[in-house]
Structure 1
Amino acid sequence: MTGSLIVAGLTGFVALILGFAASSTPARLPIWIALATFLVGGQLLAIAQIRLYNSRWLNDLVYNGPPIVMLAYLSRFAWISLAAARTTWSKPWRELRDQAAMDGAGALRTAIHVVGPIAAPLLGASAVLVAILSLTEVPATVLLAPQRPQLLTPMLMTWVHMLRYDAMIEGALLMVAMVLVLTAIVVGLTRFGISRAEVRSQNSVARTKPGKGITRLASFCILTSAFCVLTGCDGFNSSKPDAVWGSSNGLTLVYPRALDYAPKDDSWFVIDRSAVVQHIDRKGKVLTEWHMPQSQTGKPVGVTVGPDGNVYVPDTHYHRVIIYDAKGNEIRRWGSQGTQPGQFIYPTDIAFDAKGNVFVSEYGDNDRVQVFTPDGTFLYEFGSFGDGEGQFSRPESMVIDGDDVYITDECNHRLAVFKTDGTWVRNMGGPGAGLGEFRFPKGLAMDSDGQLIVCEFGNNRVQLIDKKTGKGLKLWGTGGHDEGQLAYPWGVAVDKEDRIVAVDAGNNRLQVFEF
């Protein structure tokens, strides 16, 4: 929380300086620019800043410290301080300025000695409001992770993923408490500003009424917070699915997160947050099901049908791999919590190369891929935490095609490509909502044409990607709850007919479609 308060406080301080500066000039262009950047939205602003500042020359100066996040927050909310300052150029204030000009004061001196002392509480209130909104900004904060110092918002998102509900609730309550305290400060500064302006107005020799302008400014500060919370827009352009599997056809799913296809019998295996593994046929009917042996700490986020027809489950929150046959009988397991070879911290997915070697991705303190023989003997590992070449920030899903390994590098918003020997080849994509761009890519599959199919948790869609160029070819889905819309999709798989099944986690269902 300390890091969030520091960054939000510094942002509010800079907004205060901008407000005082704006009170010295009647120029309107800065506020129009600030409004334009606000309307662009936090997600697109963060993407633009990543492209501008994530470079060798600006990494240490801007990107790896508070400035990058502060720039995003100021781009979003500095218009509040500028608009507050703009009200000091309204008619009641102009009379006050004219009086000061008659006494020989210039614009800067008037702003410092005449307007500033009266408007200071209200400009301070607008700056605190900027700090509040910065503290609660989600899209820009999450996209610009990891930050230094560590901010609370990405930690809350991580705790949600890791099912650490106690920490999540404590953090959320702490943030709410801080927002309430800062809101009380805004109200206090506003009331103080009004009373101060009324006293100045009563004692003024001239018949100026800056108190009226202050009242307008106070109303602006109060209404702005409601506007920022309530405004928003959404839209979609999606086609209907071929089928929907869920409560409508007798399939009970509770926030499903893992799915894979079994080509031998044209069936599917799906795991949800009730820790139930369900084996379903090609029409979504349940064939058999079983429970994971433990689930109190957390549930698996991946499942893979191996070349031997067995079901391999990365038991994410128990730091191990468990192998079942198709009827749910456990065959064997391996792994324990740790950072040594053969140990795991939050394994996410399993894939197989042509030799039958087992690739296991994991995140947490490791963020790597470990490779084992078919009997579970450790061979080698590759990857580490970071955003550089050959690094990961939560590797989520894998597809192996020949000697190429494709990995969804979720929190770096890209696809990473390696050779099966661990040699890094290239990264594809980057943060965004356009074709070939990603926001928290999770599930990954490949169709019969060798094209990649990527499921995006953040953009609520599935994207078809050219595996050689990284070019986005087609999109399916958008955020929502109707058929053809997705809510926080976690996984995706493809059958032998190129039917795509998306794990529509937030809607407790699976949707079947074709590109």
Structure 2
Amino acid sequence: MAIGAAETGQVQFKNPVALAVGQDGTLVVVDQGDKMVQMFNTEGKAVSAFSIPTAWARGVAVSPSNGNILIVENENQSVMTFTPSGELVHRFHSDHFSSCYGIAQRNDGRILAVDYAEHCVAMFEPDGTFVRSIGKRGEGESEFYRPFFIAVTKSERFVVTDSYNHRLQIFDKDGSFEGISGKRGTENGDFDLPLGVGVGGEGEIVVADRDNHRLQVVATDGSHVTTVVNGDGRLASPANIAVTNDGHVYVINGKDKSIDKFKYN
């Protein structure tokens, strides 16, 4: 299924940059070009939309506790929280990040934002109080080079795409390093600029392997499980993704700015 592809006659996107999936399976799309948030049901039908007050939105997450939509934007270095109907209910600014892409919220409400310019993950309380920063520039454990996106597991471990080091890094709930998955290459389990990342219903990790033009699935220990789309022309430079609990993944397809849906499990 492709949402927003020209041949479908559906709504088309100008510049989709971020995806998330709610507990009920609703797909949330941030279209930077239109300064809009659009929502779709599991069949790909548009169900609602609202405008946002910025053209610099980069990442989106759905709160696991109440279904609110969190958006990180880089014009004013802020995190905005909207109700599903589009009401802005909270916004905080922070000097502790400069250029964020990925954002996630845990069950306890803490917010994780990935700062690719500062090579770190910033952790905040729900009200925006800064907790700590994880990482610095480098190639070692708990070091990043241009990290982009993040996903949280059911046990509240989190996975970060350490994009320009061409790998994933996995951390426990408190931000302590647990492991690394991948290296630069084209074989199964290798990455070439991994970007979007999501966690499925069984804890599996799905990764958009951008410059290999494919999606890969790895286990919770970082070992390779399967390759979903393997450079066969269906995807071009896949960027952000969102993973459902029933074994599907949505991906922003650089080929035509559509949102494609694949079954991987």
TM over 0.5: yes
Check conservation: 2:101, 2:148, Cα contact below 8 A. Answer: yes
Per the alignment, residue 476 of structure 1 pairs with: 229
Give, as a single letter, the amino acid of the residue that structure 1 aligns with 2:259: L
CA distance in 2 between partners of 1:507 and 1:312 (Å) = 26
Give, as a single letter, the amino acid of the residue that structure 1 aligns with 2:116: Y
CA distance in 2 between partners of 1:469 and 1:395 (Å) = 17
Question: Cα distance, 1:261 vs. partner?
Answer: 0.5
Question: Cα distance, 1:316 vs. partner?
Answer: 3.1
CA distance in 1 between partners of 2:73 and 2:232 (Å) = 29
Give, as a single letter, the amino acid of the residue that structure 2 aligns with 1:335: H
CA distance in 2 between partners of 1:479 and 1:410 (Å) = 22
Question: Cα distance, 1:493 vs. partner?
Answer: 1.4
Q: Which runs of 4+ in 1 moved over 3 A?
A: none
Per the alignment, residue 281 of structure 1 pairs with: 41
Check conservation: 1:256, 1:505, Cα contact below 8 A. Answer: no
Aligned ranges 1:205-284 → 2 under 5 Å: 243-246=1-4, 247=6, 248-264=8-24, 266-274=25-33, 275-284=35-44
1:462 aligns with 2:221: no
Aligned to 1:507, what secondary structure does the other structure show?
A: coil
Question: Cα distance, 1:479 vs. partner?
Answer: 6.0
Q: 1:334 to 1:290 in 2, by over 3 A?
A: same
- Size of the aligned set, in residue pairs, is 259
Q: Percent identity?
A: 26
Aligned ranges 1:117-156 → 2 under 5 Å: none
CA distance in 2 between partners of 1:505 and 1:284 (Å) = 18
CA distance in 1 between partners of 2:195 and 2:232 (Å) = 16
In our comparison, the structure showing a higher alpha carbon Rg is: 1
1:488 aligns with 2:247: no
Per the alignment, residue 58 of structure 2 pairs with: 301
Check conservation: 1:348, 1:396, Cα contact below 8 A. Answer: yes
Aligned ranges 1:243-392 → 2 under 5 Å: 243-246=1-4, 247=6, 248-264=8-24, 266-274=25-33, 275-295=35-55, 299-307=56-64, 308-336=66-94, 338=95, 343-364=96-117, 366-392=118-144
CA distance in 2 between partners of 1:421 and 1:305 (Å) = 21
- Structure-2-length-normalised TM-score: 0.91
Check conservation: 2:123, 2:132, Cα contact below 8 A. Answer: yes
Aligned to 1:304, what secondary structure does the other structure show?
A: strand
Q: 1:509 to 1:403 in 2, by over 3 A?
A: closer
Higher relative helix content: 1
Check conservation: 1:404, 1:420, Cα contact below 8 A. Answer: yes
CA distance in 2 between partners of 1:294 and 1:399 (Å) = 24
Check conservation: 1:276, 1:289, Cα contact below 8 A. Answer: yes
Question: Cα distance, 1:431 vs. partner?
Answer: 0.5
Per the alignment, residue 148 of structure 2 pairs with: 396
Aligned to 1:458, what secondary structure does the other structure show?
A: helix
Give, as a single letter, the amino acid of the residue that structure 2 aligns with 1:398: I
Check conservation: 2:208, 2:238, Cα contact below 8 A. Answer: yes
Per the alignment, residue 441 of structure 1 pairs with: 194
Q: Deviations over 1:149-173 (max 9, x none)?
A: xxxxxxxxxxxxxxxxxxxxxxxxx
> Which structure carries more relative contact order (alpha carbon 8 Å, separation 6+)?
2
CA distance in 1 between partners of 2:40 and 2:254 (Å) = 17
Per the alignment, residue 195 of structure 1 pairs with: none
1:511 aligns with 2:263: no
Q: 1:317 to 1:461 in 2, by over 3 A?
A: farther
Question: Cα distance, 1:449 vs. partner?
Answer: 1.9
Question: Cα distance, 1:472 vs. partner?
Answer: 4.3
Q: 1:403 to 1:327 in 2, by over 3 A?
A: closer
User: Unmatched 5+ residue regions in structure 2?
Assistant: none
- Structure-1-length-normalised TM-score: 0.48
CA distance in 2 between partners of 1:306 and 1:270 (Å) = 15
Check conservation: 2:61, 2:105, Cα contact below 8 A. Answer: no
Check conservation: 1:301, 1:314, Cα contact below 8 A. Answer: yes
Question: Cα distance, 1:506 vs. partner?
Answer: 3.4
User: Unmatched 5+ residue regions in structure 1?
Assistant: 1-242
Give, as a single letter, the amino acid of the residue that structure 2 aligns with 1:413: H
Question: Cα distance, 1:249 vs. partner?
Answer: 4.3
CA distance in 1 between partners of 2:198 and 2:210 (Å) = 15
CA distance in 2 between partners of 1:270 and 1:499 (Å) = 16
Question: Cα distance, 1:325 vs. partner?
Answer: 0.8
Check conservation: 1:255, 1:507, Cα contact below 8 A. Answer: no
CA distance in 2 between partners of 1:491 and 1:509 (Å) = 12
Question: Cα distance, 1:456 vs. partner?
Answer: 1.6
Question: Cα distance, 1:397 vs. partner?
Answer: 1.5
